[in-house]
Structure 1
Amino acid sequence: MKALGIRAGMALAGVPVAMAIAAGAATPAALRDAWVPEDLQTLTAMQLTQAGPRPVDPSNIHERSSNAASLGRALFNDPRLSRNGRVSCASCHAPAAQFEDGRPVGQGIGTGKRRTMPVMGAAGAPFLFWDGRKDSLWSQALGPMEDAAEHGGNRMRFARIMRAHYATQYEQVFGPLPAMPALARDASPLGTRDERAAWAALPPATQQQVNRVFANMGKAIAAYESRVRYGPSRFDRYVGATLAADPRGQDVLSVQEVRGLRLFLGKGQCITCHNGPMLSDHAFHNTGVPPLDPARPDRGRADAVPKLLRDEFNCLGPYSDAKPEQCGELNFLAQNDPAHLGAFRTPSLRNVADRAPYMHAGQIKTLQEVVRHYGEAPDAMVGHSELARPGDAPGHGQLIRLSPQDVEDLVAFLGTLSGAVDQPR
């Protein structure tokens, strides 16, 4: 790759760059790795520091509240918020283990169908879960609590737990708790047949009160989870050293790891979807990942959009704090898009080397296999893969051709993306 000289202080995309060393230039201390301006601009945008402070979620006015975060942390770790009293959010999103569980699919009171996603970075995504069926961090927190395979709980019981164990903390943030009627101990519109019948028997005003408590539980958990963040990695230090023209600083990555970085930006085409400080475009793609159950392939985003639109806890719902015009993602949501079939959300690659197995149901065990998958570009069993294949019509995309050494170099680079997890104390 030909390196171009850049004058000290020249700005790339609004970010000052101290210097880039031209190949062969006479300088006091030449950089080991020279980069062209276009690549420097991309590397700058990939730094964790470029994430900046997360914009306030208009649907959750309590997200920045420290009292809400304290309550949310307690709820996140409370196994009483499950049918069997043994499962908490932390059971799958373990704070000591990258806020995930290391399993191919989640395991709550039952066995799930998809891989547990880490908490870090979720606050910046417009849609949550692998299929994007939730549009806020607080709404996402509610889903597992009622899911039959995860917590398996019900709204009336949750509201009673809040009154029995968290009334003071709750009221500091959200105001007085409603009185809990004696006529129903367990009731929910998504529960068992008896729970649904008990819910239907409640007056609408009582249903709304219970829903409000339930929504506020999600908002408190979101206040906590939004404070859990990725810490800087060796890659971030390397980019900082490169932009500062620091030769010794570049030694934080090996020669092989830098080769992998060049492949990531170049013929590996990884940057197409894994870009920005979270190394994700937050979009949905079908890349031909084999389904966990070939007899019942997961339809992904195609089935999630209708769920999102009818969700009473979405941005436009009655429990959101947002004004309708603040719900742009939902207002302009694409519906009935054929590309949604079999498509799943692009995960962040930060700390990716520490969280095998991979893909939406843990179908692929190692990073080497993941990289080879993109080179092999198998046909999708549901929908159509975006990956280019030999013989495709012009314009479909560019083939990803990687040698065995390329695969190892890319995997080596992916290992540089790991950093500590910053979480509130």
Structure 2
Amino acid sequence: MSRRAPLAGAALAALLLAFTTAGAPPTWSEGELKTLKSLWIAQLGAPPADPSNRVADDPAAARLGEALFSDARLSANGKVSCASCHQPDRAFTDARPTGRGIGAGARRTMPVAPAAYSPWQFWDGRADSLWAQALGPVENPVEHGFTRTEVARVVAAHYRGPYESLFGPMPDLSDRRRFPLRASPVGDAAARAAWARMTPADQAAVDRVFADFGKAVAAYERTLKVRPGRFDDYLAGVFGAPGRHASLSPDEAAGLRLFIGKARCATCHNGPLLTNNGFANTGVPARPGAAPDHGRAAGVRQVVDDPFNCKGRYSDAQGEGCDELEFAVVDDPAQVRAYKVPSLRGVRRRAPYMHAGQFATLDQVLDHYSRAPAAPEGVSELRTLDLSADERRQIVAFLRTLDEQPERRP
């Protein structure tokens, strides 16, 4: 007994030490603390100004935009609104691999709340403002399936007062020879033919209402807040800020350390929204049977040519403050199958993942990043990480701390 007792005591001491270490708050180096502070939502601030939209922060425009956002009359079947896919209780997505409106889309629905902070919209960045983004789905045949003249008529019939108080008089749409019921330059064959018969002045009048519709929707979307998660409450404690504090479990802390270290997640998922708002080819496989999709390589061409971009005639910027568009790079091979780096805020509730819902779970995403397979087209930016099953589990545990907390009452 006398010889075994010290061994038993040593084993107990080791067990207690392990328990104490596992339960102790994590310690961070000076460099790690700097990185952590950059990820804190307290660093976020207000969305950047949008010089292309003079009503971007007008409360009256936001009220009009909120009504338009939820109005299913702005669709061919009267059943699809912006809110059909951007559902508030699903972090403004729809829990589908690809969006579904009138028909099935080709890409995943992106969350709305962080979008006001990004210079580029859509997975391929083919719009350079929130209001220009709002226009695309309306005319898309598998989303709203609507046309520009139909949008103008819905606004005239149901929102004339608030519209005109913001944007001025609407055109008189009563003459159907001048303003056909269904006309659009990007619609079906009949809608395109009807649009072609309109005079340039009448086309411009409808385009103006169409653009103003988008600007009102954007004003509403700019009011949507990205709320803090338990991760931010933890950082509030780390940096001695007032308010609600929280702790991280050993797995969550280990996952955070991997996120900013070995796993290199923070290389792209950085800043308070955990995105650099850039584009990356991460070797994600194409969906079986999907049409060719070149990502940013095609999107940058579209945004440069878009009549509703920052430098277009319907922009309020008048050519000023359009630096992102001015210096947009075209024909860069790295843009092939590069897609927007999404915010990770609320990521747990946004399954499935990637630009076309290719992965059902976060563990599948991390497995892909760990293996870093070759891209189906272009060159993947990933490098093999060889994350163990435990390390992937720990990173997922950390990502769950990014879920938004219930709104706090004063």
TM-score (norm 2): 0.90
SS for the counterpart of 1:382 is: coil
Residue of structure 2 equivalent to 1:241: 237
Instruction: Please tell me whether residue 361 in structure 1 is matched to residue 346 in structure 2.
Output: no
> What's the offset of the Cα at 1:171?
1.0
Instruction: Please tell me whether residue 221 in structure 1 is matched to residue 217 in structure 2.
Output: yes
Residue of structure 2 equivalent to 1:62: 55
> What's the offset of the Cα at 1:203?
1.0
Residue of structure 2 equivalent to 1:273: 268
The letter for the 2-side match of 1:403 is S
The letter for the 2-side match of 1:409 is Q
Indicate which of 212, 218, 230 corresponds to 2:208: 212
> What's the offset of the Cα at 1:182?
2.1
Residue of structure 2 equivalent to 1:96: 89
Aligned equivalents of 2:203 and 2:357: distance in 1? 38
SS for the counterpart of 2:150 is: helix
CA offset digits 1:289-346 (Å, max 9, x no partner): 0001367442111111111111100001000011323100000000100000010000
> What's the offset of the Cα at 1:176?
1.1
Instruction: Please tell me whether residue 401 in structure 1 is matched to residue 386 in structure 2.
Output: yes
Check the 8 A contact 1:51/1:277 in 2, yes or no: yes
Question: Cα–Cα, structure 1 residues 420 and 188, in superposed 2: closer, same or farther, change >3 Å?
Answer: farther
Instruction: Please tell me whether residue 416 in structure 1 is matched to residue 410 in structure 2.
Output: no
Equivalent residue runs for 1:136-151 within 5 Å = 136-151=129-144
Aligned equivalents of 1:329 and 1:236: distance in 2? 30
The letter for the 2-side match of 1:281 is N
CA offset digits 1:259-309 (Å, max 9, x no partner): 000000100000000000110011110010000136744211111111111
Residue of structure 2 equivalent to 1:182: 176
Of 331-340 and 50-59, the range deviating more from structure 2: 50-59
CA offset digits 1:88-118 (Å, max 9, x no partner): 0011011232211100000000100000001
In structure 2, list runs of 5 or more residues that go unmatched. 1-22
Indicate which of 322, 325, 333 corresponds to 1:338: 333
The letter for the 2-side match of 1:368 is D
Q: Percent identity?
A: 51
Question: Cα–Cα, structure 1 residues 37 and 31, in superposed 2: closer, same or farther, change >3 Å?
Answer: farther
Residue of structure 2 equivalent to 1:124: 117
Of 143-152 and 166-175, the range deviating more from structure 2: 166-175
Equivalent residue runs for 1:28-107 within 5 Å = 32-107=25-100
SS for the counterpart of 1:325 is: coil
SS for the counterpart of 1:365 is: coil
> What's the offset of the Cα at 1:355?
1.0
Aligned equivalents of 2:311 and 2:208: distance in 1? 15
Of 257-266 and 94-103, the range deviating more from structure 2: 94-103
Check the 8 A contact 2:106/2:290 in 1, yes or no: no
Question: Cα–Cα, structure 1 residues 170 and 69, in superposed 2: closer, same or farther, change >3 Å?
Answer: same
CA offset digits 1:31-88 (Å, max 9, x no partner): 8221111111111111112110112100001011111011101100001100111100
Equivalent residue runs for 1:286-325 within 5 Å = 286-293=281-288, 296-325=291-320
> What's the offset of the Cα at 1:229?
1.8
Q: Which has the larger radius of gyration?
A: 2
Aligned equivalents of 1:100 and 1:118: distance in 2? 5
> What's the offset of the Cα at 1:421?
7.5
After TM superposition, the runs of 4+ consecutive aligned structure 1 residues lying more than 6 A away are: none
Aligned equivalents of 1:296 and 1:204: distance in 2? 34
Aligned equivalents of 1:382 and 1:294: distance in 2? 15
> What's the offset of the Cα at 1:347?
0.3
Instruction: Please tell me whether residue 349 in structure 1 is matched to residue 344 in structure 2.
Output: yes
Aligned equivalents of 2:245 and 2:224: distance in 1? 28
Q: Per residue, is there more helix in 1 or in 2?
A: 2
Aligned equivalents of 1:167 and 1:250: distance in 2? 49
SS for the counterpart of 2:234 is: helix
The letter for the 2-side match of 1:230 is V
Question: Cα–Cα, structure 1 residues 422 and 337, in superposed 2: closer, same or farther, change >3 Å?
Answer: farther
Aligned equivalents of 1:402 and 1:55: distance in 2? 37
Question: Cα–Cα, structure 1 residues 368 and 422, in superposed 2: closer, same or farther, change >3 Å?
Answer: same
CA offset digits 1:179-234 (Å, max 9, x no partner): 11321111110111111111111111111010000000000000001111210100
Check the 8 A contact 1:82/1:145 in 2, yes or no: yes
CA offset digits 1:345-391 (Å, max 9, x no partner): 00000000111100000000000111111011011111111112xxx
Question: Cα–Cα, structure 1 residues 138 and 412, in superposed 2: closer, same or farther, change >3 Å?
Answer: same
Aligned equivalents of 2:368 and 2:291: distance in 1? 21
Aligned equivalents of 2:45 and 2:297: distance in 1? 32
> What's the offset of the Cα at 1:173?
1.1
Aligned equivalents of 1:420 and 1:75: distance in 2? 28
Residue of structure 1 equivalent to 2:20: none
TM-score (norm 1): 0.87
Aligned equivalents of 1:31 and 1:117: distance in 2? 38
In structure 1, list runs of 5 or more residues that go unmatched. 1-29, 389-398
Instruction: Please tell me whether residue 264 in structure 1 is matched to residue 264 in structure 2.
Output: no
Of 180-189 and 307-316, the range deviating more from structure 2: 180-189
Check the 8 A contact 2:53/2:316 in 1, yes or no: yes
SS for the counterpart of 1:229 is: coil
Of 294-303 and 258-267, the range deviating more from structure 2: 294-303
Question: Cα–Cα, structure 1 residues 421 and 207, in superposed 2: closer, same or farther, change >3 Å?
Answer: farther
Aligned equivalents of 1:420 and 1:144: distance in 2? 30
Q: Report how many aligned residue pairs link the two structures.
A: 382
